[in-house]
Structure 1
Amino acid sequence: MPPAAASGIPAKRVLASKEAALFKELLTLYETRQLKKGQKAADQILKKFPEHGETLCMKGLILTHMGKREEGLDLVKKGIRLDLTSHICWHVFGLIQKGEKNYEEALKSYTQALRFDKENMNILRDAASLQTQLRLFDSLVETRHTLLKLRPQLRQNWIALAVAYYLDGKLVDTKQVLEAYEKTLKNVPDYDIEHSEVLLYHVRVLEELNEYSEALSLLDVNAKSRSIVDRTSIMEHRARLLSQLGQKDEAEHAWRALIEQNPDCYDYYRGFLGNQDIDLDSITNENRGRALHILRELSQQIPKASAAQRIALDVAIDGDFKESIKPYLTSGLEKGVPSLFVDIKSLYQDSQKLQVVQDFVEDMRHNLSGAESSTPSSSSSIEPPTTYLWTLYFLAQHYSSLSQHSRALELLDEAISHTPTLPELLTCKARVLKRAGDPFGAARLMDEARLLDGQDRFLNTKCAKYRLRAGLVEEASEILGLFTKKDAASPGTDLEDMQSLLYLTEEGDAHERNGHLGLALKKYHAVEKVFNEVEDDQFDFHGYSLRKFTINIYLNLVEWEDQVRSHPAYIHAALGASRIYIRLHDDPSLVASCSAPAQLTDAAKKAKKKAKKAAQKVQEDAKKASPAGNEDKGLDLVPPKDDDPEGLKLVSGADHLERAHKLLAPLVSLSLNNIEVWAISFDVALRRSKYLQAAQALNTLRTLDAEHPELHIRIIEFHKALSPTTDSLPPSTQSFVTSCLSDLLPGDISLETFNSQYLQRHSASATHILACARVSRKLGAPTGEVEDLAFSLLKPEVALDLKSGMSALVFFKELNSGRIEEFRSACDLKFPLACTFKTPSELAALRQNGFTGNLEVEEKQEQEVLS
């Protein structure tokens, strides 16, 4: 909040005594959010002093809080022009820019304000928060130093300086500040939470400095004196420090105490084994037996916890694995644990372990099926029927993960006939059909599952998700509307407000598959908006965490925020939107087709009409509820009216590649090990004629996988794009890209030979063969030759999967091939469960009739939910 004007002000800023008192009152009225009265006070001053810059700025700030942003901003700018040396004017301008999330410009305004009032505490604190938000840690240290010099008696200023040094990577300085701070403390009461957090932070700093003895001494002394009150943190720090110091006996005791306190925490077992010089990430044959012995001992001591048994499965091999897996699987199946397969499927990376699991569970199913058919009197040890049921369920998931979908469906049909009212069986069958390429059948089965328990939000959510996967957007909206706000403009609007990343990504994909590129871009950019808000939300914690002394968790937050764009949802949305932008750039005719008015279905018309009515009702309710008093509307941006509901502006814009680059930039800066990220980044850079960025992307791709088909295609694209422009590049760029290309593509062979050699090395891989076909087309090979190469995907020795078959079908469409029907028919026979390779008329029939839903049941269920 703007401070009172300082003494010794310039003549042009001088007010008469009455107006000066009124200006002080204006500041107080703003601070207490009496906006109406503040506006009147400002008007009274401006009647006599119409060019008083500080009053103009204050009035503009008040108007901004009252929702009159444009008028307020104009007044603030005018006030600054009239008084360029007023810290109040610059501070007000910084407040407005900060409220608009324009942090860089806000910091510039605060810097200007500090030129004219270097010791203003409010401005310094706000500037520190902005520097932290922008990760300007060098400047942050200077600002925190200034604050400490001004108010050394405030504990917060000491800790803030220590945190600033820590964020800047200067741990020695952090340690010195903390030691100096602790010397100033007197009469600290027991169980002081804030002091406890500071001491734990001190221990953390010493541990990161590898000063383990000093850290352990500080921890023990303050734990005994009850200065540190978080007992779990004490135990965790102590166990780690003892292990680092090599005091294995004491460390073992500390880790055992932690395991007994929380026997399901995998990190504690990892620490316990690490204390015994056993690294679970790099188990050797020498220490494997010892690790198994320790884990079995811990399992016997705490039989109710499964963590030790599960870790043992990762460590064990051969006979030890067989011995360990049988009781683990038996216990899970007898208890009916639905997540048992999800728990152990990571073991399938080892083919021998996979076979052991399959053989054991199949034997168990065979034995149980015999027990099922026997009479109760024939055996005294018959397993309960549920064991057989969950065995079938497990095996269905097992075979589905191996792409043996027919076998999985047989087992599920048997399980459903055994217990038709178990939703997990229907959801599993839906998942199998989805993987087999039948999204319509999957959506129908998921609908049957949700009808078994109409008030289960999980089942309804899964049903909506599967409808979106089948392209049934309007039908999915009906299900989502069962649990969203009834006064929202639409279910999608409410879910977007709630930042549902699942909904946004799935609906974006559904629109893209349906050819509605504008709507898909809208959803993908909505995901980007969510992550922008997540980054903005951290701003409030820069000051809050220091005031509340929640230092350690705050530092974890800052580290997490730096990596937040690596979230799978953002990666998915950024890549999806970038692919669409590349398509629009490569084929401008798509823009015209997307801009043409779409023919809405009856369901879509009904949903649109309903959404319009709901939006009108929301506006009417807002008008009725709006207060007439001095409510502070705040500096938060008012949600603008959506003037592009179909996403046509996103489609028709001229800056497609720039938008894609902006979405991908955070992923590139994080240097993710994601091949698709670097492949799409290359595509965008090449089309923007940024050859240096394109070469860097190719180098990263080669580092990740030198034989990846996406890299093979882009090597040829880079060569063809670079050949006519090499001489026009700057010398430094020319040298780098030429060197990169020579490393990727031998100069002594032709492109055709390079492609042929690549095909020979990967003659049994569908993705690599398809990449060679695409390269052949780019090199101008005859269409018949390209078609023959693509048809080699159907050879028996080629492992053609559903995804590769779909990609090949798209490639045939790009070729305008006359043999597309031949390929489609062959794939339809190869993948009998999939509907992807059906004819357009068959697909239309499946879409219209394959999923009809039970409208009467749905309406009845909706009434039950509402009641």
Structure 2
Amino acid sequence: MASQQATLAQKDRKAFQDLLSCYELKQLTKGRKVADQILKKYPDHGETMCMKGLILVHLGQRDEGIKLIREGMRKDLTSHICWHVWALVQKGEHKYEEALKSYMQALRFDKDNFNIVRETSVLQTQTRAYESLVESRLHMLRLRPSFRAHWVGLAVAYQLSGNLVEAKRVLEHFQSLLREGPVNDAEYSEFLLFHVHVLEDLGHLQDALAFLDKKSKDRYIVDRTATHTFRARILSKLKNTNKESPQAAEWSTRAESEWRALLDLNPECSDYYQAVLANQGIDLGDLDEDSCTKALALLSEFAVHFPKAYAPRQLALTVAQGDRFRGLAKPYIEVALSKGIPSLFSNLKKLYANPLKCQVIEEIVEDIRASFLVDPASPSEPAKYLWTLYFLAQHYSFLGRHRRALEILNLAVEHTPTLPELYMTKAKVLKRAGDPYGAVRSMDEARKLDGQDRFINTKSGKYRLRAGMVDEAEEILGLFTRKGAATPGADLTEMQALHYLVEVGDAYRRIGKLNLALKKYYAVQKVFEAFREDQYDFHQYSIRKTILLPYFDMLKWEDEVQSHPVYVHAVVSATRIWIRLHDDPSLGKSLQPSAETTDASRKALSKAKKAAHKGNDPSQESQDAANKKVSNQSEDKGLDAPIPKDEDPDGVKMVLADDALERAAKFLATLKESGKRSIDACLANFDVAMRRKKYLQAARALTHAHAVDAQHPQLHLRVVQFGNTGESLWLISVTTKLSVAVSSVSDSIANPVKSVLHETLISLKPEEISLDVFTSQYLQSHSTSPSAILACAQACKFLGNPTEDVESLLFTALKDDIGLSVEDGLRILSYLQCVKSTRAEEFRIACDNKFELSTVFKSSEEQAALRHQCLLEEKEDCDDVETL
């Protein structure tokens, strides 16, 4: 369609320019009047309709504005203004890919519009379209070559697209245009460091070193830490890649000098110590007797040079073995206990991977404790005695000797009953021992000793969630949340408190409220979506301010943010709920609220609205108006899509959805590459794909899981499931073995696909071995693993073995030589209950007897009584406080 703007008279063209100016100056009311005047004479002028629609969106009339924009675009599809307006709306809705397409359409009709090109480049960075970004940045430079930011932007675009040669050329050409760079200028310094970074990535190490030395000497580079880091890293690379060069010794000496300079700036950075050791040919991951001696000598030298630094002493403990370790560990532990350092156990915990070091630490601390037993009632160093007991309690708890840990903690409490750390450690011991209600009571005692400590308060709330006390946890968490919030949970969600969202989601899942659990897991997804959107404002800002190296770190972090353990956990947990809802749709129906509950909820909501209306704060209303005014003055804030009203706050409609597997697959797809590195995500992908009959996806998920952990018990179960399905669908002859129904499914699978599935199965299981034998062999090689016993029992059940055999196999986990933990026992019990085993109660009683400190294996009546007692004690404490 031809542009309608040509039909405007000269006077009306000027009016249209005034309309554009009004929008740019945020004179929205005036702009709306101008648009109405133009449309009165030209009702079909598409550009004016789009501009009026855009103004309406800013003024809060979003639906009416978008409708008008769509109508205006239909009137004039060849106008760059119409496409630009539509792109702005899509960008406000965070539909970045669609907005980018609209910007590209706008450039077709006005290719030299600088504003459109600039906004296009930002969206290309946001969507990681780096090849197209180079073209946009080149175009911006041609349009305005005198701006430094455009040269920097082009170099950054080349670097992001992987074309380092062109990035280097652009940087050198820009510097040649400068008569003289500013001295001691932070932005120019960052620009030069980016140049060094490009040279280093290209492998031009000597050029990078010469450039760095010259610019830092001339005071153009002002960041001391970055200068030392670049120089040390480049010199180390030069020495390692040119070992036969006559300059290798000089590079090595200079590199060590730079690393030592960095240590002077930060003596607690263990990476610097490891770099010094590596510079002298000492690899901490591959030590022999000579290199170990040399490493300990160097670390000892650093310990003397930095007497207050802990990093060299901790590294020495990692390196040392045998008597050397004992000789270093004893003074380290004694000094820390004398000073009363609570984090001592956390610092040494990583050494427990070596059983010999663990035993030496225990002997050292027990010897220290024994020295106090001459007169334990009044030891010569009471503080040291207390922290010794504290360390031993953590030590024995970590090793699973919970009764011993509690005995020591009781002694410590008798000695000093006012130390919150003792009660917090006792809570952790009880939690590990399987007594969640005892852990709650102990953590509450710690909280009452220091009511102003947010950390202890948060821990108390977390332990309540672990015990399934969700409402009680919110009461505790509400002590430190914003008082004006609707609920403590709402405030924590607004603050993106991931630890809260995951814990409360897990709590709801454990107590069977799957709808509320799903809501919390999807709230985690919204937080990570906000992380993605928050980077948008930095694409242009970082280049304009020349904050380049941190900007690259941010982009790298954003690309990997969805591999965060919290996000992976939320996705996998939500997927398992969707699978349960698919396998048993009655679960969702059982979560529907009754009519009485719905009526009560409506009345409560109505009452809350009336109370809020009566209690309106005039100052708050004025603040809201001010916020709205500021929002309208911002360039893009008025275009942001309003937060949609949550029509399903309790998640009931969600669990009643009939597309559970599709929702699970969509959620899993957000993990992208990070899902291939998580065994749990791979297994969840397999479970969803098999139920959707996406066998290639299932095979791919198994391959990725095998690459992560080939011996994982649940992977073995999935291989059995995959192999059994394969025997039914693509391995056994259809004409002789299968029914007509299965035959039709098998015929729908193409022969190349069958071949791929068969090859995948062969790579996971020897072809000549049956699934029963495969399971027996796996069990023999993992006979002491409770997780393997459970997985093999599940496999046997899946293969149709008698229920008695499956139950007998599961009961072998109770043997003394099997390291059964509380968590393992709960998983086995849950499976027995799931398959409606008649021996489930027998297994529960056996576990209850085996784990004497545990309460999670009590009967449901006993657990209800324990919960009631816990709540009753809490109420009595609150009443005592009110009385005081």
Q: What TM-score range do you get, normalising by the shorter chain?
A: over 0.9
Compute the displacement of 1:279 (Å).
2.3
Contact 1:488–1:618 (Cα < 8 Å) also in 2: no
1:530 and 2:530 matched? no
Q: Distance in 1 between matches of 2:725 and 2:363?
A: 54
Structure 2 Cα separation of the partners of residues 783 and 461 of structure 1: 45
In the alignment, the residues of structure 2 paired with residue 510 and residue 324 of structure 1 have an alpha-carbon distance, to the nearest angstrom, of: 44
1:790 and 2:783 are equivalent in the alignment:
no
Change (3 A) 1:92 1:305: same
- For the 8 Å contact 1:489–1:611, the answer to whether it is kept is no
Q: Give me the whole-angstrom Cα distance separating, in 2, the residues matched to 1:619 and 1:663.
A: 40
Residue 856 of structure 2 aligns with which residue? Answer: 836
Residue 271 of structure 2 corresponds to 267
Contact 1:242 1:248 in 2 (8 A): yes
Distance 1:305 1:392 in 2: 25
Measured against aligned partners, the alpha-carbon deviations of 1:576-632 in whole angstroms (never above 9, x if no partner) come to: 10110111111111111122449989x999998997778768988776655399661
Unaligned runs of 5+ in 1: 1-8, 376-381
Quote the residue 2:625 is aligned against.
627
In the TM superposition, residue 855 of structure 1 has moved relative to its aligned partner by 4.3
- Structure 1 residues 399 and 148, CA gap change in structure 2 (3 angstroms): same
Q: Find 1:745's aligned residue among 765, 771, 790.
A: 765
Are residues 73 and 845 of structure 1, via their aligned partners in 2, closer, same or farther at CA, if it must alter by over 3 Å? same
| 1:307-349 per-position Cα deviation (integer Å, ceiling 9, x unaligned) | 1111111111111111111111111111111111011100011
Secondary structure in 1 aligned to 2:183?
coil
Write out aligned runs for 1:56-95 (5 A).
Answer: 56-95=49-88
Q: Which of 752, 772, 775 is 1:755 aligned to?
A: 775
Q: 1:829 deviation in Å?
A: 0.4
Give a deviation string over 1:384-434, Cα, whole Å, max 9, x none. Answer: 211111111111111111111111111111111111111111111001111
Distance 1:309 1:511, change over 3 A: same
> Residue 31 of structure 2 aligns with which residue?
38
Amino acid across the alignment from 1:627? A
1:802 corresponds to which of 805, 816, 822: 822
Whether the 8 Å CA contact 1:584–1:651 is kept in 2: the answer is: yes
The reply to whether residue 106 of structure 1 matches residue 110 of structure 2 is no
- What is the deviation of 1:706? 2.3
What is the TM-score when the length of structure 2 is the normalising length?
Answer: 0.92
Give the structure 2 partner of residue 707 of structure 1: 711
Larger displacement relative to structure 2 (318-327 or 16-25)? 16-25
Q: Aligned runs of 1:391-410 on 2, under 5 Å?
A: 391-410=388-407
Counterpart of 1:577?
Answer: 574
Deviation digits for residues 503-548 of structure 1 (CA, Å, limit 9, x no counterpart): 1001101111111000000000000000001011111111110111
In the other structure, the counterpart of 2:445 is: 448
Give the letter for the 1:806 counterpart.
Answer: L
Match of 1:257 among 261, 269, 280: 261
Task: Give distance in 1, aligned partners of 2:820 and 2:454.
Answer: 37
Alignment of structure 1 residues 525-604 onto 2, 5 Å? 525-597=522-594
Distance 2:80 2:219 in 1: 46
Offset from partner CA, 1:159-195 (integer Å, 9 cap, x none) = 1111111111111111111111111112322112211
> 2:156: which partner in 1?
163
Question: Structure 1 residues 755-764 or 515-524, which shifts more?
Answer: 755-764
Equivalent residues in 2 for 1:811-822 (5 A)? Answer: 811-822=831-842
In the alignment, the residues of structure 1 paired with residue 374 and residue 136 of structure 2 have an alpha-carbon distance, to the nearest angstrom, of 77
Q: How far apart, in 1, do the equivalents of 2:570 and 2:882 lie?
A: 32
Q: Does 1:239 align with 2:232?
A: yes
Taking a change above 3 Å as real, the CA distance of residues 11 and 760 of structure 1, as seen in their structure-2 partners, is: closer
In structure 1, how many angstroms separate the alpha carbons of the residues matched to 2:876 and 2:808? 52
Aligned AA (1:221): K
Q: Percent identity, please.
A: 52
1:854: how far off?
3.9
User: Cα–Cα, structure 1 residues 493 and 613, in superposed 2: closer, same or farther, change >3 Å?
Assistant: farther
Residues in 2 aligned to 1:597 and 1:514: alpha-carbon distance in whole angstroms: 19
- Take 2:607 and 2:849, find their aligned partners in 1: how far apart are those partners? 44
Amino acid at match of 1:580: I
TM-score, normalised with respect to structure 1: 0.94
Residue correspondence of structure 1 range 187-202 to structure 2 within 5 A: 187-202=180-195
Distance 2:405 2:229 in 1: 45
Amino acid in the other structure paired with 2:625: P
One-letter amino acid matched to 1:761: S
- The aligned runs of 1:410-809 (5 Å cut-off) are 410-597=407-594, 625-627=623-625, 632=632, 634-670=638-674, 672-726=676-730, 727=746, 728-809=748-829
Provide the C-alpha distance between the structure 1 equivalents of 2:231 and 2:260, rounded to a whole number of angstroms: 12
Label 1:263 to 1:859 Cα distance change in 2 as closer, same or farther (>3 A).
Answer: farther
Distance 1:145 1:448 in 2: 65
Partners in 1 of 2:89 and 2:791 — Cα distance?
53
Distance 1:256 1:479 in 2: 48
Indicate whether 1:852 and 2:850 are aligned: no
Change (3 A) 1:579 1:241: same
Q: What amino acid maps onto 2:800 in structure 1? A: G
| Contact in 2 for aligned 1:87/1:116 (Cα 8 Å) | yes
Counterpart of 1:231, as a letter, is R
C-alpha separation between the residues in 2 aligned to 1:616 and 1:439?
42
- Bigger shift: 249-258 or 663-672? 663-672
Give CA deviations for 1:551-583 in whole Å, capped at 9, x if unaligned. Answer: 111011001100001111101111110110111
Cα distance 1:251–1:293, how it changes in 2: closer, same or farther (>3 A)? same
Inter-partner Cα distance in structure 2 for 1:617 and 1:244: 70
**1:79-228 pair list within 5 angstroms:** 79-228=72-221
For 2:676 and 2:421, the matched residues in 1 are separated by 35
CA contact (8 A) 1:148 1:158 kept: yes
CA distance in 2, matches of 1:810, 1:366: 44
Letter in 1 for 2:504: E
In 2, Cα distance between equivalents of 1:481 and 1:166: 48
State whether residues 474 and 607 of structure 1, in contact with CA within 8 Å, keep that contact through their aligned partners in structure 2.
no
**Is 2:393–2:409's contact at 8 Å kept on the other side of the alignment?**
yes
CA contact (8 A) 1:454 1:861 kept: no
Higher mean C-alpha deviation, range 514-523 or range 189-198: 189-198
The 1:611/1:298 distance shift into structure 2, 3 A limit, reads farther
- Deviation, structure 1 residue 439: 1.0
Q: Distance in 2 between matches of 1:837 and 1:454?
A: 33
SS class of match (1:563) = helix
Contact 2:4–2:45 (CA under 8 A) maintained in structure 1: no
| Inter-partner Cα distance in structure 2 for 1:797 and 1:254 | 54
Taking the aligned partners of 1:489 and 1:627, their CA distance within structure 2 comes to 21
Deviates more, 1:275-284 or 1:197-206: 275-284
* Residue identity opposite 1:19 in structure 2: D
- Equivalent of residue 26 in structure 1, options 8, 15, 19: 19
Quick one: structure 1 residues 283 and 149, their matched pair in 2 at CA, closer, same or farther if it must change by over 3 Å?
A: farther
Q: Using the alignment, how far apart are the partners of 2:536 and 2:258 within structure 1? A: 38
Contact residue 489 and residue 614 of structure 1 kept, 8 A: no
How far the C-alpha of 1:549 sits from its partner, in A, is 0.6
Residue 242 of structure 1, CA deviation: 2.0
Deviates more, 1:110-119 or 1:705-714: 705-714
CA spacing shift, 1:324–1:630, aligned 2, 3 Å: closer
Aligned length: 848
User: Who is 1:354 aligned against?
Assistant: 358
